[in-house]
Amino acid sequence: MRILWVNPVGTPDHDAGIAALLRQTKSAETLAEVVSLVPGVVPEHLEYDSFEAMAVPEVVRLSRQASAEGWDAMIIGCFYDTAVTAAREVSGRMIVLGPCLAGLQTAAHLAARCSIIATRPKAAGHIARVVRGHGADHMVASIRTLDILTSDLVRDPGLTARRIEEEARAAVENDGAEAILLGCTLEHGAQDEIQDRIGVPVIDAVRAPFRMAEHLCGLAALGWSPGRIGAGLAPDDDELGMTGCFGAAAIGNRIEVR
């Protein structure tokens, strides 16, 4: 199985961290690759809606390209599930998914209600819209915030872990959360310890979608690839080519994960 993890940001800074986490997460036969995008084309983080916007066409181009290269799945590594619908449209038989839906689906088997730990109110508001779009309002007890900027999350991992634990505990004690969903792919690292200390599942935004991707890839053998009518109807190659807009995606960095 070949799965492409996209850090849809214009910095290679987080690639090694994600790659290390995927190495511990993936099954032996999966070949993964972590890519990030080019600085100046896409910002270093996507917390702002305007920053996320810059990543949208790159992600779509990458999806088409990855599909052509024979990848089985591509994960768009932002909890906003950035451009998943558009990327899926031109992904042929490749699976495209994002952390928010994958996390919510995982949580649905483990708990009646979960809380999401977002970075800042900015992100929390955006996530609320994504959750509502997925029809999952009834299973989200609360969206809490760390009040740490996305790009600062990895600067002081101890602080990040401490704050996640504080908010997770508050979610369990006050909001009725029975599981925790980490609301940013950069909140990884201390998930295990926090989970042990709090005693409820803490689902992180990297492993959950990656494992879901492995699972979904396996379904291709049953013929379950994305439908290609209605929302899934793709422009034909001629039409798409004539736009001149679907050149190579601007990949800035690549790490193979074996």
Site for its own copies in 216-245 (CB under 8 A): 216, 218-219, 222-235, 240, 243-245
The answer to the question of residue 164 lying near its own copies (CB under 8 A) is: no
Q: Rounded to whole angstroms, what are the CA distances from 247 to 65, 66, 108?
A: 9, 12, 39
- Which is closer to its own copies, CB of 44 or CB of 166? 44
Q: Token pair for residue 232?
A: 């899934």
The answer to the question of residue 249 lying near its own copies (CB under 8 A) is: no
The least distance separating its own copies from the CB of residue 258, rounded to whole angstroms, comes to: 19
- Which is closer to its own copies, CB of 56 or CB of 170? 56
The least distance separating its own copies from the CB of residue 183, rounded to whole angstroms, comes to: 15
The answer to the question of residue 39 lying near its own copies (CB under 8 A) is: yes
The least distance separating its own copies from the CB of residue 166, rounded to whole angstroms, comes to: 18
The least distance separating its own copies from the CB of residue 17, rounded to whole angstroms, comes to: 17
- The enclosing H or E element of 72 equals none
Binding mask 82-121 for its own copies (x = CB under 8 A): -x-xxx-xx----x-x---x---xx-xxxxxx-------x
Q: Name the pairing type of β-strands 140-145 and 179-182.
A: unpaired
Q: Rounded to whole angstroms, what are the CA distances from 50 to 10, 14, 56, 191?
A: 14, 20, 10, 29
The least distance separating its own copies from the CB of residue 39, rounded to whole angstroms, comes to: 7
Radius of gyration from C-alpha coordinates of the chain? 18
- Which is closer to its own copies, CB of 159 or CB of 233? 233
8 A C-beta contact, residue 176 and residue 170: no
The answer to the question of residue 195 lying near its own copies (CB under 8 A) is: yes
Judged by CB under 8 A, the number of residues near its own copies is 93
Segment interacting with its own copies, rule: CB under 8 A, options 153-161, 162-170, 208-216, 248-256: 208-216
Please provide the size of the chain in residues.
258
8 A C-beta contact, residue 33 and residue 256: yes
Give the C-alpha separation, 101 to 76, whole Å: 11
- Which is closer to its own copies, CB of 89 or CB of 165? 89
The answer to the question of residue 1 lying near its own copies (CB under 8 A) is: no
Q: Work out the burial of residue 28: count CB atoms within 10 Å of its CB; fewer than 13 is exposed, 13-18 middle, 19 or more buried.
A: exposed
By CB under 8 A, name the one of 10, 12, 17, 183 that touches its own copies.
Answer: 10
Give the C-alpha separation, 77 to 6, whole Å: 6
By CB under 8 A, name the one of 13, 20, 48, 162 that touches its own copies.
Answer: 48
Which residues inside 118-147 make contact with its own copies, applying CB under 8 A? 121-122, 124-126, 129, 132-139
8 A C-beta contact, residue 145 and residue 119: yes
DSSP state, residue 75: E
8 A C-beta contact, residue 114 and residue 107: yes
